[in-house]
Chain A
Amino acid sequence: MALRLPRIGTSQVAALVLILAANWMVSPQFFDIRMQDGRLFGSLIDVLNRGAPVALLSLGMVLVIAMRGIDLSVGAVMAICGAIAASLADSHSLPVVLAAALGAGLACGLWNGLLVAVLGIQPIVATLILMVAGRGIAQLITEGRIVTFTSPELAFLGSGSVLGLPTPVVLTLGMLALTLLVVRGTALGLMIEATGGNPRASALAGVGTRVITVAVYMWSGLCAALAGIVAAADILGADANNAGLWLELDAILAVVIGGTSLFGGRFSVILAVVGALIIQAMNTGILLSGFPPETNLVVKALVVLAVLLAQSPRLGGFLAGLGVLFGRRP
């Protein structure tokens, strides 16, 4: 059978376990979880909770990348939707607030999707437009201020808890289940992989590549909107300048760590979320170990490089070449 079987992601899970173990060595109470006021507390829960926005973004990003696209605008979309949610929160009911913010996310995704699928613009450029302009739009909504709100319903989405788990974690799990259901429960995932592998051949084979492309970018916009709402609800306000800043890079990183090929054609939704957790576990670990938080970026750079080299088709040849160089037969 020529079809590549879905990988089980042993290396990603092993990396996550390794990092968690390292965190445990640095801080022995890392795995301690206690129940307080009907909500679980502990470093591990904290990793899940802090990792939720990037995990949400990666749920959209993984599908975009599987189609050989990229969505640079997710950080800016987060800022826009957070700004909308925060400025409506105290004057409108929760359903209206959510509908407006999620609708804005879908509209942003639609814009990106149309540019890519209909105008045929390269994804990196098409989404760059919204990445540059989006933060300006968000500031236009907040009028350059940091908009704060007091609505307890919206705040619940950021800092509340359901069955003891923080709401962002529950939301992420829900979105993960929904994504898996839609993508792997139907033929849609296969069509996305086909489009990423060879858009022309897929179109000739009868796959509606245009519609799928637009839909996937809209999904990414929706995920970014949800992440923006969670981020705004968490701090009871929207900061158009800093909400979601550089998170698009973390989301891409999470997807790449999750083993999804940047050349399109195969993806794993669950491993992308594991990738997001690996990033967050590293962040938390560096904080716990007392290293300066500045180390974070260097560590991230080295991880990206290691993952990329491991994915590279040329690495095998390179190692063989080294073997020859040092007088060993490959």
Chain B
Amino acid sequence: MTRSLNRLMPVFATTAVFLAGFVLCSLAYPNFASLRVVMNLLTDNAFLGIVAVGMTFVIISGGIDLSVGSVIGFTTVFLALAIERWGVPPLAAFAIILIICAAFGAAMGAVIQYFELPPFIVTLAGMFLARGVSFLMSTESIPVDAALYSHLSDYAIRLSGGARLTVPAMIMLAVVGAGMVLLHLTRFGANVYALGGSRTATALMGINVARTTVLIYTLSSVLAGLSGIVFSLYTSSGYSLSAVGVELDAIAAVVIGGTLLSGGYGFVFGSFLGVLIQGLIQTYISFDGTLSSWWAKIATGLLLFAFIAFQQITLYMARRSRLRPAGVAQGVLQP
């Protein structure tokens, strides 16, 4: 029992930081503690939340995906062009772009797996490629005024106090829920954890490492595509420079959520909280009005440092308590 509680420690820490932050903000601004602010938090960070779920899978498996921001940008441009210029019905365009993203992710996963290259540099090439292709398609911002778009952005579940649960927020919550089920309750999820622990051991256990790796990067790119759809709904336009640097925000959210960057350990729910904490910082700055936006970057950097230092200390303690008995056993075994 205590062991499973210990396992959940980082997520508890993230939850505590989020709650403490929310209470502090509410004390400073009485209007802050309302359902409306919370719902806006969900809507404004929906695209980041969706990407962060995919990034959690990648990072738990011991990899990294730098291409997600560019994939979002590519998706928004593709959707705008497909719907506005080529006359594709929006729903068909959504399906096509998700298939393209899946193929893109699968290709990156395959290159990483079969050529034994570091994920960092392969997804970096993917980042250049996706951004470059969206530049080639269009360099200007293209507005989308399809009927479905205005329909979807108007649609919302009305809650008390003028709060609205919008479509982007609903999609994000659904993705977070599905991600939790996929990671924690399925065989694929167990394989992802195993890969992050040790690739060799996973292969020796008879798990299909190649298939799992390709699937992980496919999942991350598909979620980036879905996030691009949400981003395009949210802004009603397509722009090749949109979502620059989102991969860093997503990685930061995953780390703040308690996932180990060396792989093998982490939670989807933690990443969701990490996204909300970043959103909270932004909201606080916009409530304050006098603070400049660069404080958000500094605060995120500080939080990143705090959480990574916390992880290192926990790891160090765990290693020390494990090393001592092991050392004794070695002494006995040596002749």
Q: Is B124 an interface residue (CB 8 A)?
A: yes
Q: Which of B263-322 contact A (CB under 8 A)?
A: 292, 294-298, 300-302, 304-305, 308-309, 312, 316
State A314–B115 Cα separation when bound (angstroms). 5
Q: Classify chain A's interface size.
A: 35 or more
Give the residue name and chain of the B residue nearest to A72 (CB): B248
A residues less than 8 Å from B316 (CB atoms): 120
A residues less than 8 Å from B312 (CB atoms): 119-121
The minimal Cβ–Cβ distance linking B276 to chain A, given in whole angstroms, is: 17
State A295–B309 Cα separation when bound (angstroms). 41
CB pair A301–B125 under 8 Å, yes or no, is yes
State A125–B121 Cα separation when bound (angstroms). 15
CB pair B121–A133 under 8 Å, yes or no, is no
B-contact 0/1 string along A115-150, CB 8 Å cutoff: 000011110111011111111110110011000000
CB pair A294–B136 under 8 Å, yes or no, is yes
Question: If A119-B312, A140-B294 touch, does A252 touch B132 (CB 8 Å cutoff)?
Answer: no
Task: Find B124's partner among A121, A249, A313 (CB 8 Å cutoff).
Answer: A249
The minimal Cβ–Cβ distance linking B234 to chain A, given in whole angstroms, is: 23
State A308–B312 Cα separation when bound (angstroms). 32
A residues less than 8 Å from B114 (CB atoms): 314, 318
CB pair A312–B132 under 8 Å, yes or no, is no
Q: Is A159 an interface residue (CB 8 A)?
A: no
CB pair A301–B305 under 8 Å, yes or no, is no
Select the residue from B114, B121, B251, B302 with max chain A CB neighbours within 10 A: B121
CB pair B132–A295 under 8 Å, yes or no, is yes
CB pair B135–A294 under 8 Å, yes or no, is yes
A residues less than 8 Å from B292 (CB atoms): 139, 143-144
Give the residue name and chain of the B residue nearest to A136 (CB): B297
Give the residue name and chain of the B residue nearest to A119 (CB): B312
CB pair B294–A129 under 8 Å, yes or no, is no
Q: Is A300 an interface residue (CB 8 A)?
A: yes
CB pair A129–B124 under 8 Å, yes or no, is no
A-contact 0/1 string along B123-140, CB 8 Å cutoff: 011101101110110010
CB pair A308–B115 under 8 Å, yes or no, is yes
Question: If A129-B305, A129-B308, A132-B252 touch, does A308 touch B136 (CB 8 Å cutoff)?
Answer: no
Q: Is A70 an interface residue (CB 8 A)?
A: yes
CB pair A297–B124 under 8 Å, yes or no, is no
Task: Find B251's partner among A119, A128, A263 (CB 8 Å cutoff).
Answer: A128
Question: If A125-B255, A132-B300, A314-B116 touch, does A304 touch B124 (CB 8 Å cutoff)?
Answer: yes
Q: Is B122 an interface residue (CB 8 A)?
A: yes
Chain B: interface residue total (CB-CB under 8 A): 42
Q: Is B147 an interface residue (CB 8 A)?
A: no
B residues less than 8 Å from A313 (CB atoms): 116
Task: Find A135's partner among B133, B136, B297, B308 (CB 8 Å cutoff).
Answer: B297
Q: Is A309 an interface residue (CB 8 A)?
A: yes
Q: Is A262 an interface residue (CB 8 A)?
A: yes
The minimal Cβ–Cβ distance linking B200 to chain A, given in whole angstroms, is: 16
Q: Is B262 an interface residue (CB 8 A)?
A: yes
B residues less than 8 Å from A119 (CB atoms): 309, 312
The minimal Cβ–Cβ distance linking A246 to chain B, given in whole angstroms, is: 9
B residues less than 8 Å from A305 (CB atoms): 111, 125
A residues less than 8 Å from B305 (CB atoms): 129, 133
Task: Find A124's partner among B111, B120, B296 (CB 8 Å cutoff).
Answer: B120
The minimal Cβ–Cβ distance linking B48 to chain A, given in whole angstroms, is: 14
B residues less than 8 Å from A143 (CB atoms): 292
State A231–B300 Cα separation when bound (angstroms). 27
The minimal Cβ–Cβ distance linking A286 to chain B, given in whole angstroms, is: 11
Q: Which of A241-296 contact B (CB under 8 A)?
A: 249, 252-253, 256, 262-263, 292, 294-296
The minimal Cβ–Cβ distance linking B323 to chain A, given in whole angstroms, is: 15
Task: Find B120's partner among A70, A130, A297 (CB 8 Å cutoff).
Answer: A70
Give the residue name and chain of the B residue nearest to A298 (CB): B132
Give the residue name and chain of the A residue nearest to B311 (CB): A121
CB pair B300–A133 under 8 Å, yes or no, is yes
A residues less than 8 Å from B183 (CB atoms): none
Q: Is A203 an interface residue (CB 8 A)?
A: no
Q: Is A182 an interface residue (CB 8 A)?
A: no
Q: Is A211 an interface residue (CB 8 A)?
A: no
State A135–B301 Cα separation when bound (angstroms). 10
State A116–B304 Cα separation when bound (angstroms). 15
The minimal Cβ–Cβ distance linking A77 to chain B, given in whole angstroms, is: 13
State A303–B140 Cα separation when bound (angstroms). 26
Give the residue name and chain of the B residue nearest to A122 (CB): B261
Q: Is B64 an interface residue (CB 8 A)?
A: yes
CB pair B129–A309 under 8 Å, yes or no, is no
Q: Is A162 an interface residue (CB 8 A)?
A: no
Q: Is A25 an interface residue (CB 8 A)?
A: no
Q: Is B333 an interface residue (CB 8 A)?
A: no
Give the residue name and chain of the A residue nearest to B295 (CB): A136
The minimal Cβ–Cβ distance linking B237 to chain A, given in whole angstroms, is: 18
A residues less than 8 Å from B129 (CB atoms): 297-298, 301-302
CB pair B125–A128 under 8 Å, yes or no, is no
Q: Is B89 an interface residue (CB 8 A)?
A: no
Q: Is B95 an interface residue (CB 8 A)?
A: no
CB pair B296–A136 under 8 Å, yes or no, is yes
B residues less than 8 Å from A133 (CB atoms): 297-298, 300-302, 304-305
State A122–B312 Cα separation when bound (angstroms). 10
Task: Find B261's partner among A124, A135, A256, A301 (CB 8 Å cutoff).
Answer: A124
A residues less than 8 Å from B295 (CB atoms): 136
List 5 additional contacts besides A144-B292, A249-B124, A308-B115; criterion CB under 8 Å.
A133-B298, A262-B118, A304-B128, A308-B111, A311-B117
25 residue pairs from A and B, CB less than 8 Å apart? A119-B309, A121-B308, A121-B312, A129-B304, A132-B252, A132-B297, A133-B302, A140-B298, A144-B292, A252-B124, A256-B121, A263-B118, A292-B135, A292-B139, A295-B132, A295-B136, A297-B128, A300-B128, A301-B129, A301-B132, A304-B125, A305-B125, A308-B115, A308-B125, A318-B114
